[in-house]
Amino acid sequence: MAAALRGCRRFPRALLLPPAGAGRPGSPGAAMQQPAALPARPGGPEGGAQAGGGGWLGALRFDNLALRSLPVDASEDGGPRAVPGACFSRVRPSPLENPRLVAMSLPALALLGLEAPAADREAAEAEAALYFSGNRLLAGSEPAAHCYCGHQFGSFAGQLGDGAAMYLGEVLGPRGERWEIQLKGAGLTPFSRQADGRKVLRSSIREFLCSEAMFHLGIPTTRAGTCVTSDSKVVRDIFYDGNPKSERCTVVLRIASTFIRFGSFEIFKPTDEYTGRKGPSVNRNDIRIQMLDYVISTFYPEIQEAYSDNSIQRNAAFFKEITKRTARLVAEWQCVGFCHGVLNTDNMSIVGLTIDYGPFGFMDRYDPEHICNGSDNTGRYAYNKQPEICKWNLGKLAEALVPELPLEISELILEEEYDAEFEKHYLQKMRKKLGLIQLELEEDGKLVSELLETMHLTGGDFTNIFYLLSSFSVDSDSSELENFIEELTNQCASVEELKVVFKPQMDPRQLSMMLMLAQSNPQLFALIGTKANINKELERIEQFSKLQQLTAADLLSRNKRHWKEWLEKYRVRLQKEVENVSDADAWNADRVKVMNSNNPKYILRNYIAQNAIEAAENGDFSEVRNVLKLLENPFQEAEGFREVKEEAEEEGATATAAACAQETRSRLPYCTVKNSARQTSKCY
């Protein structure tokens, strides 16, 4: 796989002179409480970054409510250790050598009341690099690391915590809203375990870009204000193949109403019967009560106000709301083909945001079993598993709230609310993506399912197919229909691509041994494999065998037939819309408008991120900034971009079960609706 990535050809870049003005600010779904501003000490252990202020960042107004409301560890030992009886530990960022700004998101920084001075952009960037690397502390900031636990891949892992992220404090925005800011990659904390508390340029660019991409797609998410790299180095084994290399330490400024997560409430968990691990604050129900009081009063004030005299009802209303928010969030993911990759309980936001961008990926070819995490060998966090996994995680949150919310109450809420909310929101969003704006028919769910099945059968590009559908005319004649079908089939996989996808991944002797073991010793087989993986391999063998006899002409004919069948059903459904309007032209204009505002033209495909990473690793940060500008307007044809029309050789790359994502490389950089060739790369 490493060889395949090294062999990838560099694709041409879009060129942009970024505008000087700030973009539009946004806000998360969580409601905010605005307390009176109080002074807060710039604190932390001795050594490390120095406190300071001034410049354009001096306008930040800190009010660190979390540290006043929740217990803070009294120890100043900065080394890895258990942290009992506390939600935070004071820390100090570790300075970096020669920090410099890779990129900053003006819309995200506007949340904090910041606007980069246009007069001296270079000085503003230098100041941002100094403070948002952690080399100098902002006046009023109080660096701390948050303690939490988590279920990772279904097993309780015990204490985890902010091993690389540091809470700086909470900034009051221009309208009084409260924003927690974090530095991710700023150095060691008590929760770093065997790691070094650092993040590198490639993973930081991915998180920075995807945080902003998700926001501009309209999906609840944490934000990213800046990305700062340095000359400090750490060693990483990128492909886990025994070939480590030095990489630049990089820090991302993250912004959210809060970074408290489901796992924050798991610090009270007693010894787990399967792993033998326990939380660091067992039997500290007093802290659980403090946390519930803080979370609900600060981020769900309407619930606090409605149930101030009954804590059980209040906690039940809170659990119901986070259940519905989580259901809506994962429905949004499914509708843009986003795979999170690491849906552990410690990566689930307590206010319903997308949080912690690791081995994520946006699907290219539609595959319901798409896995974007190379270490997810069982497919636990595959695309089609995300809704049920998020529900499972809510079940673990419910367990963590006992006794303050009895399990019989929370389990009933989960069963009554989650699936219904997910299905409702998912279908509402899919209707918009298909332009079904007049009627809500029971048959719509089947139409969506059949569309996705057609995409799967033909290897259709998820984003591009949806984007093209807005140009389908209900009144098209046979010639226009054929032309449209031709456009759709241009977005489908070639025979060679399908051969890469379905190439068997096991040695025949290994497969034979596994099949025998499954029959003769099921217990031993369960330790080294799963029936699902074996069945998937058998399917690959069958499909690969069929593909050897399939010509390009046969595939095209088959794909055209599949799409014609589905389009006829879509046409019938659209005609029902037309029958319910008085002005068909106005309806069609509205339909196209709704579709174009729900089907993005641009998403953060892995190859786009990789292009930006490679340029940045060579000292050119303009590509990251270009991509950021593109992703700020994902539904519109980009203005100011000059696309370089170079023909790119279609390259094949070996796809493996451990591949993190299968890339679509477009012939035009960043423009999604083109023929494509697939690539494979690691997305850590």
Give the residue numbers annotated as catalytic, written as ranges.
Answer: 346
Q: How far is CA 526 from CA 156, 295, 376, 534, in A?
A: 20, 41, 16, 12
Please say whether the beta carbons of 680 and 663 come within 8 A: yes
Cα dihedral across residues 353, 331, 532, 362: positive or negative = negative
- Residue 639's CB is within 10 A of a number of other CB atoms, namely 9
User: Checking DSSP bridges between strand 155-159 and strand 149-152, what pairing results, if any?
Assistant: antiparallel
Say which amino acid occupies 304: Q
What lies within 8 Å, CB to CB, of 520 at 6+ separation is none
**Within 13 Å, how many C-alpha atoms sit on residue 674's CB side?**
18
- Judged by phi (left if over 0) then psi (alpha if -120 to 50, else beta), residue 28 lies in beta
What's the token pair of residue 469? 């559908």
Burial class (CB in 10 A: 0-12, 13-18, 19+), 540: middle
Rounded Cα–Cα distance for residues 1 and 655 (Å): 8
157 φ, ψ (degrees, to nearest 5): -100, 0
Please say whether the beta carbons of 336 and 603 come within 8 A: yes
Q: Which residues of 481-512 are buried (b: 16+ CB within 10 A; e: fewer)?
A: beebbeebbbbbbbbebbbbbbebbbeeeebe
Rounded Cα–Cα distance for residues 99 and 360 (Å): 27
Q: How far is CA 657 from CA 63, 462, 496, 497, in A?
A: 47, 20, 18, 15
Please say whether the beta carbons of 606 and 508 come within 8 A: no
Q: Is 427 helix (H, G, I), strand (E, B) or coil?
A: helix
Q: Which residue has the tokens 């905010």?
A: 32
Please say whether the beta carbons of 159 and 147 come within 8 A: yes
Q: How far is CA 215 from CA 212, 335, 346, 355, in A?
A: 5, 14, 21, 12
- Residue 88's CB is within 10 A of a number of other CB atoms, namely 22
3-state SS, one letter per residue, for 394-424: HHHHHHHHCCCCCHHHHHHHHHHHHHHHHHH
Q: Which residue has the tokens 């993911």?
A: 333
Compute the residue count for the chain: 684
What lies within 8 Å, CB to CB, of 314 at 6+ separation is 296, 303, 304, 306, 307, 308
Q: Which residue has the tokens 């570790």?
A: 94
Rounded Cα–Cα distance for residues 157 and 263 (Å): 10
